C-alpha cells in the first residue's frame, strides 16, 4: 500500500530555490534513506512533509488522502479537522532531540498523548512504560534530559515520536549530534523498528547503515533527486557524482 506520495514539491527561501520538483513515494513497511550533500534540501523536504514548513507548490498524500493539493498554481492544505487527523500519520525525530528540559523522561514521552490525543493519564503512563522498556530506558523514567547521555536523549525522542503510533516515522540526521559510541545504540533502535516493519524515511550520513537497512536509497542534490534505487544499485552507481559522494564515507 502506498503510504506516502509526494509530487512536484517546491520550496524557496527568498530567491533561493531549495526544492525543485521533488517527488517521493513510500510503501507501507518500507525503509527509505535520503542521502546527499549538505544544502541539497533533505531536511527542508522532511520539514515540508511534516508541516513544519509550508511548501510553495506540490502535493502530499498520506494513504491516498490529501494533506496538500496544488490548485490554481498554489498549495491548498487540508481543512483544520482533516489536517489534525492526517497529522497522526507521521512522527518526526530531530537531530538535536528537541526534548523539554523541564519535563521528566516520562512526561516528555506521554505529554503529546495527553495534550494532543486527550488520553487519560493512567492510560498514557501504561503506553509510556511500554515504550521506555522497549527502548531500554525504564530506569530513566523520572530523570531529566540533562541527566542523560546524547544517545539516551535520542532514544527518548524516538519513544515520544512512537507514542502517538504514527504510520510513518521521519528521522532528520538522528545520529549527527552523537559521538560514534552513542551512534551505535540509536542505530540499533532504528534497526529493531525496521524488523517490526515500521515505515521510515531517514535522512542520514551513515552510509553503511543506509546500505544495510534501506529498501531504497534516494540521492539528493540541488533540491532534486539525482538518483534512486536499491542499496546495491546506488552503491554500484556509474554516476560520477554519486560515486564521489559515497567514496568520501
Angle at 75 between CA 73 and CA 77, to 5 degrees: 150
Question: 84-93, 174-183, 202-211, 218-227: which range is least confident on average?
Answer: 174-183
Question: Which pLDDT band holds residue 102 (cuts at 50, 70, 90)?
Answer: very high
Share of the chain above pLDDT 70, in %: 100
Q: What is the pLDDT of residues 16-49, one digit of tens each?
A: 999 999 999 999 999 999 999 999 999 999 999 9
Burial of residue 84 (CB within 10 Å: 0-12, 13-18, 19+) is exposed
Closest CA to 225 of 35, 26, 68: 35
The C-alpha cell that represents 204 in the structure block: 542520514
Supply the pTM of this predicted model.
0.93
Vertex 35 angle, CA 33 and 38, to 5°: 145
> 59-62: which pairs have CB atoms within 8 A and are 24 or more residues apart?
59/5, 59/6, 59/7, 59/8, 59/9, 60/4, 60/5, 60/6, 60/9, 61/2, 61/4, 61/5, 61/6, 62/3, 62/4, 62/86, 62/89, 62/90, 62/167, 62/168
Assess whether pLDDT exceeds 90 at residue 15: no
Question: Can you tell me whether residue 73 is helix, strand or coil?
Answer: coil
pLDDT value at residue 3: 94
Mean pLDDT on 89-116: 93
59 bridge partner residues: 7
Residue with the three cell numbers 522532511: 46
User: Is 80 exceeded by the pLDDT of residue 144?
Assistant: yes
pLDDT in tens, 192-223: 999 999 999 999 998 989 999 999 999 999 99
Residues 6 or more apart in contact with residue 1 via CB below 8 angstroms: 27, 28, 63
SS3 per residue for 87-138? HHHEEEECCCCCCCCCCCHHHHHHHHHHHCCCCCHHHHHHHHHHHHHHCCCH
115-121 mean pLDDT: 91
**Percentage, residues of the chain above pLDDT 90:** 82
Cell 534501506 found at:
214
pLDDT number for residue 177:
77
* Residue 1: pLDDT over 80: no
Position 62 pLDDT exceeds 90: yes
Query: pLDDT by residue (tens digit) across 217-226?
Result: 999 999 999 9
Q: How far is CA 181 from the centre of its chain?
A: 22
DSSP run (H or E) holding 186: helix 180-195
Amino acid at each position: 500500500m502506498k503510504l506516502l506520495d509526494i509530487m512536484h514539491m517546491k520550496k524557496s527561501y527568498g530567491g533561493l530555490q531549495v526544492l525543485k520538483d521533488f517527488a517521493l513515494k513510500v510503501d507501507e513497511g518500507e525503509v527509505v534513506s535520503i542521502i546527499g550533500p549538505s544544502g541539497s534540501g533533505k531536511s527542508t523536504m522532511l520539514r515540508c512533509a511534516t508541516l513544519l514548513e509550508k511548501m510553495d507548490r506540490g502535493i502530499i498524500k498520506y494513504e491516498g488522502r490529501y494533506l496538500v493539493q496544488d490548485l490554481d498554481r498554489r498549495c491548498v492544505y487540508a481543512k483544520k479537522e482533516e489536517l489534525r487527523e492526517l497529522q497522526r500519520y507521521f512522527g518526526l525525530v530531530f537531530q538535536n532531540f528537541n526534548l523539554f528540559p523541564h519535563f521528566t523522561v516520562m512526561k516528555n514521552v506521554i505529554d503529546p498523548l495527553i495534550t494532543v490525543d486527550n488520553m487519560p493519564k493512567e492510560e498514557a503512563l501504561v503506553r509510556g512504560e511500554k515504550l521506555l522498556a522497549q527502548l531500554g530506558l525504564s530506569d530513566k523514567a523520572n530523570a531529566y534530559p540533562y541527566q542523560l547521555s546524547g544517545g539516551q536523549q535520542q532514544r527518548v525522542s524516538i519513544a515520544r515520536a512512537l507514542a502517538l503510533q504514527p504510520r510513518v516515522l521521519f528521522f532528520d540526521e538522528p545520529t549527527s549530534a552523537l559521538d560514534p559510541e552513542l551512534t551505535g545504540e540509536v542505530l540499533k533502535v532504528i534497526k529493531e523498528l525496521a524488523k517490526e516493519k515500521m515505515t521510515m524515511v531517514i535522512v542520514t550520513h551513515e552510509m553503511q547503515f543506509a546500505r544495510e537497512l534501506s529498501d531504497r536509497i534516494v540521492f539528493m542534490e540541488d533540491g532534486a533527486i539525482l538518483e534512486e534505487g536499491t542499496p546495491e544499485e546506488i552503491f554500484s552507481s556509474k554516476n560520477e557524482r554519486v560515486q564521489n559522494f559515497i567514496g568520501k564515507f
